[in-house]
Amino acid sequence: MKKEEFVKKIYDAAVKIGEIDPIFVTAQAALESGWGAAAIGTYNIFGITKGSWKGECKLVLTTEYFSSPDKRFGDGERVVSVEKVGTKRYRYSVYRWFRVYASYEECLRDHLAILQKPMYADAWEHRKDRHEFLRRIAGRYATAPNYVEIMESMFKSVERRL
């Protein structure tokens, strides 16, 4: 799928749901899935891990960043390597379980449910302001140290394709 097609499909679905700025949702999906090319199980466009999910899952090699060199993961997940990349910053190459969805809509609704959790309560009132919402969730939603800068760039990429 071309980037323009991906943007239209996800943006339109995000507008339909209507809870969070659709450019934010589309940019985050584009970043997390490589514009849909690296979606897990076709429709997991946010890289949502298993957590308490009871549905189908897929084991995938991914990169994560944490402040500890001895992070523990779930059953069946396995660390391939850990590299120190800064003061109290470690890059993990790790096999993790990711949720498998039946449609983009199912994934978008699950993504929305995640962002409505209490850990993001201080961000929720800013969900229509993509820049402020991003700043408030960044340290908790994503582990990449430069997530805010990358997402700001993705906002512009999505806007150019609308």
Q: What is the pLDDT of residues 5-18, one digit of tens each?
A: 999 999 999 999 99
Is the model's pTM score more than 0.85? yes
Q: pLDDT at position 144, please?
A: 85
Q: Where are the beta strands (DSSP E) in 72-134?
A: 78-86, 89-99
DSSP state, residue 40: B
Which CATH number covers residue 69? 1.10.530.10
Confidence tier at 139 by pLDDT (50, 70, 90): confident
* pLDDT computed for residue 142 by the predictor: 86
90 lies in which domain range?
A: 3-161
pLDDT tens per residue across span 80-122? 999 999 998 999 999 999 999 999 999 999 999 999 999 999 9
Percent of the chain with pLDDT over 70: 100
Count of structural domains, the chain? 1
